[in-house]
Amino acid sequence: MSTALYPLKFEPILMERLWGGNKLQTELNKPLNGRSDIGESWELSGVEGNVSVVSNGFLKGNTLTELIEIYMGDLVGERVFQLFGHEFPLLIKFLDAREALSIQVHPDDELARKRHQSFGKTEMWYVMQAEKGAQLISGLREA
């Protein structure tokens, strides 16, 4: 049996959210089993308690954490492995927000380390589809 890496697929981790809808099923064919409150589908996660699991090939059933422990820089790249070690530094997810989300405030690395023993949170959004009149608001304004 070959132990070489191959294109890995992961089981989505479906997250209930008050503002969630059903577009993850209708637009992306995610199996929501009739639920209408799934707001997020985590496609690739190293978040403790919600670590992605391989869904294909001979590594099926292994977690992302286990893969990094075995393959290290061969999986994530030497520079990333040197910076983050066994912690996967990205969370890739799809969102379905049928209602407005709460205000989000994310700490930088220094504050997150101090208060939560974790990395800060930098976000990148790519809007694939939006209803007419939808908004994405970024930043604050003095009142």
Bridge partners, residue 93, by sequence:
42
The CATH number of domain 13-116 is 2.60.120.10: yes
- Would you tell me how many other CB atoms lie within 10 Å of the CB of residue 16? 10
- pLDDT for res 140: 75
- pLDDT for res 25: 92
Give me the DSSP letters along 67-107.
HHHHHTHHHH-HHHHHHHTTS---EEEEE--SSPPPP----
Token pair of 137 as six digits: 């608001």
- Would you tell me how many other CB atoms lie within 10 Å of the CB of residue 106? 10
The residue extents of the domains of the chain are 13-116
Q: Over its length of 143 residues, how does the chain's per-residue pLDDT go in tens digits? A: 567 889 999 999 999 999 998 899 999 999 888 888 899 999 999 999 999 999 999 999 999 999 999 999 999 999 999 999 999 999 999 999 988 887 777 888 888 889 887 777 777 888 888 889 888 887 777 87
